[in-house]
Amino acid sequence: MSSAKPSIFLTLIIGVDCVGEMAGICCASSQPTATAGKAVGWDKATLNPGPIVAMRTYRRIRLAGGWYFFTVNLASRHGNDLLVRHVADLRAAFRQIRRDHPFFLDAIVVLPDHLHCLWRLPPDDDDFPLRWRLLKARFSARLEPGESISPSRQRKGERGIWQRRYWEHVIRDERDFQRHLDYIHYNPVKHGYVQAAKDWPYSSFQRWVKRGVYPVDWAASAEIAEWTWE
């Protein structure tokens, strides 16, 4: 990361004193609207902007609630564009699970066959495995059966949409947050889908542009471009 680049945590931090506000904000997520011609929806609706607070609260956030980066893949990745074809179903699954099990969705990118996102969990709750289990199940339930299912999954009555495992990383500090935020928004470029982050509709990039964290024509640093947390 370029040292010239201002840390977003010096100017804004999402959340907190979210101890009190979090439940309300997370639970009262506004409904994503499926605007015609704009399939995104993560921006205005699904993402919680959260209150902007000062640097001093950062430690408290860390202690109070966990920040996580996730990479979650489809079981069948080759040529599979399921997630962008069914991005509305994915949003609906997120919305539904967050209603019962709140969390902040700070950033997300949905690629055709996988997704990356940054979450913040409520202070008294670190159960992200439950949330992913429910999210995967909810999304799968919205799709017609027909995917290939391994024998072991068939025996358990499971669907074959998602990989069982996913990559999870606990965000250590603000620099780590920034790196993962950049990683998420650069990802469509990394995977060769677009030339610039602004050109990919299925990410929270525009939200962060509006916050003033990125210029609209932002390009990732060489460091981020070389990283792989797939």
The residues, any chain, with a CB within 8 Å of residue 105's CB and separated by 6 or more, are 42, 46, 47, 48, 94, 98, 117, 118, 119, 204
Between CA 117 and CA 131 the distance in angstroms is: 13
With tokens 């470029």, the residue in question is: 189
Which span sits near Ni ion by CB under 5 A: 97-105, 122-130, 185-193, 211-219? 185-193
Contact code string over 90-129 relative to Ni ion, x by CB under 5 A = ----------------------------------------
Among 46, 48, 178, 187, binds Ni ion (CB under 5 A): 187
Q: For residue 229, what are its two tokens?
A: 């947390």
Tell the residue number behind the tokens 């000062």, with chain if given.
54
Contact 42, 205 (CB under 8 A): no
Please state the closest distance from residue 132 (CB atom) to Ni ion, in A: 17
Smallest distance from Ni ion to CB 191, Å: 6
Residue 203 interacting with Ni ion (CB under 5 A): no
For Ni ion, give the closer residue by CB, 29 or 73.
73
Cβ nearer to Ni ion, comparing 29 with 187 = 187
CA–chain centroid gap for 190, Å, is 17
Phi/psi at 106 (nearest 5 deg)? -75, -35
Compute the least distance from the CB of residue 213 to Ni ion, in Å. 20
Please choose, out of 85-93, 132-140, 184-192, 210-218, the segment that lies near Ni ion by the rule CB under 5 A: 184-192
Whichever of 102 and 113 has its CB closer to Ni ion, that residue is 113
Angle between helices 128-141 and 87-100 (to 10 degrees): 140
58 in active site: no
In the complex, the residues that contact Ni ion under the rule CB under 5 A are 187, 230
Active site residues: 202
